[in-house]
């Protein structure tokens, strides 16, 4: 079996179709997670404290699970994993249902509280994934983010991300 695929095959794979050859994965562990079902749970909410809206979202996949690398024509191509695409779409939909409105004209400061289910999972691996999911929903462009405050907590069995976005 060849480890090479064509660009057309890569596009088919990204679209969920079968290509003529399977790519060689540089990373594995793309376990199927139904983020749409997770985001449908009524426990995700927005709470206001001192006039600041705090949005609660499911824990994103780690940055280690976010990207997939394939060798195409002897070059490494990096694409979003299926898990990452699913998370971004489901969380964007959830944010809209929670009435999160994008800050359009100001720079923003983002506060992230990451409550992890177990004693593993790096804070920095979750920040990029969460910020990507909120682009176009909480703010229009990454360039608007001029401040990030992040903190990790342990809360076994109750993993979540709590986010606030404020104009600065």
Q: What is the pLDDT of residues 66-116, one digit of tens each?
A: 888 888 888 888 888 888 888 989 999 999 999 998 888 899 999 999 998
Whether the Cβ atoms of residue 57 and residue 94 lie closer than 8 Å to each other:
yes
Task: Look at residue 1 in the predicted model and tell me its pLDDT.
Answer: 45
Name which of 100, 79, 91, 106 is nearest 35 in CA terms.
Answer: 91
Whether the Cβ atoms of residue 133 and residue 60 lie closer than 8 Å to each other:
yes
Question: Assign residue 146 a region: left if phi > 0, alpha if psi is -120 to 50, beta otherwise?
Answer: alpha
| 3-state SS track over 23-87 | CCECCCCCCCCCHHHHHCCCCCCEEEECCEEEEEECCCCCHHHHEEEEEECCEEEEEECHHHHHH
Element spanning 95, H or E: helix 82-97
Task: Look at residue 43 in the predicted model and tell me its pLDDT.
Answer: 85
- Per residue in 29-67, pLDDT (tens digit) is 445 778 888 888 888 889 998 989 999 999 888 877 888
Task: Identify the residue whose tokens are 């401040």.
Answer: 147
Q: Which residue has the higher pLDDT, 48 or 7?
A: 48
Task: Look at residue 54 in the predicted model and tell me its pLDDT.
Answer: 93
């Amino acid at each position: 079996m060849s480890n090479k695929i064509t660009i057309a095959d890569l596009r088919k794979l990204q679209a969920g179709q079968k290509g003529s050859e399977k790519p060689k994965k540089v990373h594995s562990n793309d376990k199927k997670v139904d983020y749409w079902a997770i985001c449908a749970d009524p426990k995700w909410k927005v709470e206001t404290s001192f006039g600041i809206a705090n949005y609660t979202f499911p824990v994103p996949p780690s940055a280690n699970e976010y990207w997939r690398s394939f060798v195409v024509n002897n070059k490494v191509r990096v694409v979003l994993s299926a898990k990452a695409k699913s998370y971004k779409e489901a969380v964007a939909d959830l944010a809209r249902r929670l009435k999160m409105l994008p800050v359009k004209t100001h720079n923003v400061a983002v506060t992230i509280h990451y409550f992890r289910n177990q004693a593993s999972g790096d804070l920095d691996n979750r920040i990029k994934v969460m910020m990507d999911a909120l682009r176009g929903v909480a703010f229009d462009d990454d360039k608007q983010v001029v401040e990030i405050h992040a903190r990790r907590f342990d809360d076994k069995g109750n993993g979540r991300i709590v986010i606030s976005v404020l104009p600065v």
